[in-house]
Structure 1
Amino acid sequence: MTLMLLLGACLLTCLGQVAQKFAVESWRGPSLGIAHKLRSPWLWLALASLGFGLLVWLLVLQRLEVGIAYPMLSLNFVLITLVARYLFKESIDTRHWLGVALIIAGVVLLGRHV
């Protein structure tokens, strides 16, 4: 159950980051007023995802030591890298992929304590 909550917190945070990217992308072009920006569904999805992710994160912290739980959030770097590459078509260099591999190795090592 704890691992599911941790994964849920990561996925909600990732969704929030992606929604933020879509929100700011939708604001490009002619100067839009703040009222128009506040009506962006992407902005509200980002706020909801990040807010709900925070609540799930609090449940995780009730069950795990912060020294174990917090480094596990580095999975967000992995997820966002995959989203950047395959959804936003951003180029990812070899050093970045090596960093992702090291993060995954670290999470696997820490996951043995959960």
Structure 2
Amino acid sequence: MEKILLTYIQIVQLISFTFLMSLGQVLFKKTAITLSVSMASQNNPLGLIEGIIRALSVPWLYMALCVYAMATVFWLYILQRVPLSLAYPFSALAMVIVPIIAIYLFGEKLSWSYWIGVFFIFTGIIIIAR
């Protein structure tokens, strides 16, 4: 069986895709925070329809959806050139990127076990990409 190697450009494309997906997740979190603030000002629980209407009024949601749409088109472009079995493991980088961004933007805390997991994610991606 012939081994397929990723080019540096393909690796950069895969990492860029992962950053786009991570940005989308951060924007979804901003949407959720905005909804939490607006819902906290209400004394009565929101119904599903009212919740959807509120979500549709949050600009962060539209930015997140646009970023996800761009990421999807980019992913399709990548998959035309890279086997899925090599491309998909790079999406695991989002499990590293999103929480690190969350530390700085949302004040979240990460445990040592998280950092050990990051080590294994990077190790796995390096092994797969070779």
- The letter of the residue matching 2:70 is F
TM-score by length of 1: 0.89
2:55 to 19, 29, 37: 37
Percent of aligned pairs sharing the same letter: 32
Large movers: runs of 4+ above 4 Å: none
Unaligned runs of 5+ in 2: 1-8
**How do 1:100-111 and structure 2 match up within 5 A?**
100-111=118-129
1:9 to 1, 17, 25: 17
1:80 to 66, 79, 98: 98
State the superposition RMSD in angstroms: 1.5
Computing the radius of gyration from Cα coordinates, the structure with the larger value is 2
Unaligned runs of 5+ in 1: none
2:84 to 66, 69, 75: 66
- The letter of the residue matching 1:13 is M
Partner of 2:107: helix, strand, or coil? coil
Tell me how many residue pairs correspond in the alignment.
112
Is the contact made by 1:14 and 1:79 (CA closer than 8 Å) also made in structure 2?
A: yes
1:48 to 57, 66, 79: 66
Which residue is 1:24 aligned to?
32
TM-score by length of 2: 0.78
